Structure 1
């Protein structure tokens, strides 16, 4: 087998391991592992946590509002809502003005989960970025915000 056949990425200069999507995915996988190892509730996922945070920050919300607040897609948020409701962390009810609209609200047990989780969340962030110095941390957050910024904002 020639060197050309063994290492085609050298010829075209493309290495997937150097690409932003691959590196972001690896960093996110590392973050998720750190989250699961350090969460105060072993059954709480990072996306469930973000959903509870959005409800605490924004108050009772529709599914569409949760999608916008969390950047979680419609199909995924439905499953998250179902699991949080089954655990008694949120309540699902009809909107008073529009009976077709469903509203999610944080319940006291959901607040308790958040209260226990907030100090752990700060630790999780620190552990995720532990290899970065303070300037690199600021730069990383700035760049991630810039990459993920919506076009209309």
Structure 2
């Protein structure tokens, strides 16, 4: 079984009609013995997913999984501007091959959209796409 957050486990137990007081007691015990650790979950999640997503997308995914904002921010300390730029550059280089025969404006739109959907900051998106297209030409 993949690691889960406290919120995800609580949601699953509630879906199975487990009484709320039992859910709280079980999850408290799980945290006490180290079976549930939202901080460790967030750290692992960020490490495994940061190569293909920007900081904004990672924050949203962690929130959906029930990780509180403070824990998410602590986990995201490893995702700095340079690492986001490198990840965006790798994605753009891979996508450039599949858009080789298209006009530059079309390629820019597609690359901008891809990176924006993945949560990369606008300044990184604009700079990386333009630099990579210029380098290719």
| Larger relative strand fraction | 1
**Greater per-residue helix proportion:** 2
- So what's the TM-score if we normalise by structure 1? 0.32
Structure number with higher relative contact order (C-alpha < 8 Å, ≥ 6 residues apart): 2
